[in-house]
């Protein structure tokens, strides 16, 4: 038997995903099941919640009011369930964590075996995303972000600091030579982040205008480009510490970098107005001392 809560969760997914087919893929359901859930709710409420076209969906005025209310209601239900699990001493349920690809690959995946063994009842979802997301719209519990927090509506828990390094591979230096000073960087192949002004401002003691010759949207892609000898980049230690230790990448001008700087901060973000659930607390308390930043 399908519960009313299931239908409400499906409706939220349709709205947040912007369509029935995308919501069906996210929820791993048949699109017919998703469509039936929304139709069932509209029939029970005796009103139209979504205006459907061939290309998009739009909320009606009734739909906007209803979605706002059920977001709050489902959130309170989740908090009540968390409270009961906390009393039992066993955090459980879904936990959706968003982070940039390199952070997931180099920091979180190595910790998953231990975390899942310690908290077997938590259903963890790791979402790779290179851009800042809306936690409510994406139905995400925690976002791990690099840099100073910018959203005052979110609570920030600092997980630590990860120093940044100017790096390139031995193969690059063998081919292009090694810059003798920071000023020489402007004559080399520099790699930047696509559409990310903050990440492209290198915190150097001497101001320098970077003129990149290559860009990528993911820090992991930039790391791979550096390893392949394609240029020089500024990358966080959490993704390249092993490369530096093993000589796959070589650091330049470590004293030229201003430290501490805002890009070093590693934050866990979640909404202030919701109680810190036992799942969130368990996850952050577990990973923080195990991170290699």
Task: Please count the CA atoms within 13 angstroms of the CA of 28 that sit on its side-chain side.
Answer: 0
Cis check: omega of the bond before 260, within 30 degrees of 0: yes
Q: pLDDT of 81-137, one tens digit each?
A: 666 665 666 788 888 898 989 999 999 999 999 999 999 989 899 988 766 655 555
CATH of domain 4-82: 1.10.10.10
Give the C-alpha separation, 12 to 246, whole Å. Answer: 47
**Which of 3.30.565.10, 3.40.30.10, 3.40.190.10, 3.40.50.300 is the CATH number of 164-258?**
3.40.190.10
Which residue, among 96, 104, 156, 98, has the nearest Cα to 131 in the 3D structure? 98
Give the C-alpha separation, 10 to 235, whole Å. Answer: 39
Q: pLDDT of 238-274, one tens digit each?
A: 999 999 999 999 999 999 999 888 889 999 988 755 5
The pTM (predicted TM-score) of the whole model is 0.71
- Give CATH 3.40.190.10 domain extents, the chain: 90-162+264-290, 164-258
Examine the pLDDT at 28 and tell me if it is beyond 80. no
Q: pLDDT of 140-181, one tens digit each?
A: 788 898 887 666 567 788 999 999 999 999 999 999 999 999
- Give CATH 1.10.10.10 domain extents, the chain: 4-82
Give the C-alpha separation, 23 to 17, whole Å. Answer: 6
**Which of 1.20.1250.40, 3.40.190.10, 3.30.420.40, 3.40.50.10440 is the CATH number of 90-162+264-290?**
3.40.190.10
Give the C-alpha separation, 176 to 189, whole Å. Answer: 9
Q: pLDDT of 29-80, one tens digit each?
A: 888 888 888 888 888 888 888 887 656 788 888 888 888 888 777 767 766 6
What CA–CA distances, in Å, run from 247 to 110, 168, 173, 254, 258? 21, 10, 13, 16, 24
């Amino acid at each position: 038997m399908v519960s009313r809560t299931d239908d409400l969760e499906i409706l939220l997914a349709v709205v947040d995903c912007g369509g029935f087919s995308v919501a069906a893929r996210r929820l791993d359901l048949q699109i017919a099941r998703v469509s039936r859930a929304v139709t069932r709710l509209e029939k029970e409420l005796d009103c139209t919640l979504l205006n459907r076209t061939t290309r998009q969906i739009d909320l009606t005025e009734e739909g906007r009011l209803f979605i706002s209310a059920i977001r709050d209601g489902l959130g309170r239900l989740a908090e009540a369930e968390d409270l009961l699990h906390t009393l039992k001493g066993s955090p459980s349920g879904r936990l959706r964590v968003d982070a940039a690809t390199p952070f997931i690959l180099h920091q979180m995946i190595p910790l998953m075996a231990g975390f899942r063994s310690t908290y077997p009842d938590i259903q963890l979802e790791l979402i790779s995303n290179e851009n800042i997301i809306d936690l409510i719209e994406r139905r995400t519990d925690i976002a791990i972000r690099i840099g100073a927090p910018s959203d005052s509506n979110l609570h920030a828990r600092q997980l630590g600091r990860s120093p940044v390094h100017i790096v390139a591979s031995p193969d690059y230096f063998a081919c292009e030579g090694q810059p003798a000073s920071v000023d020489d960087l402007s004559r080399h192949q520099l790699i930047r982040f696509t559409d990310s002004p903050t990440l492209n401002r290198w915190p150097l003691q001497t101001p320098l205008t970077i003129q990149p010759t290559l860009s990528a949207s993911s820090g992991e892609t930039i790391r791979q480009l550096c390893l392949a000898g394609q240029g020089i980049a500024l990358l966080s230690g959490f993704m390249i510490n092993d490369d530096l230790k093993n000589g796959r990448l070589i650091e330049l001008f470590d004293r030229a970098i201003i430290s501490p700087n805002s890009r070093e901060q590693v934050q866990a973000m979640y909404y202030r107005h919701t109680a810190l659930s036992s799942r969130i607390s368990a996850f952050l308390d577990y990973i923080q001392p195990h991170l290699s930043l």
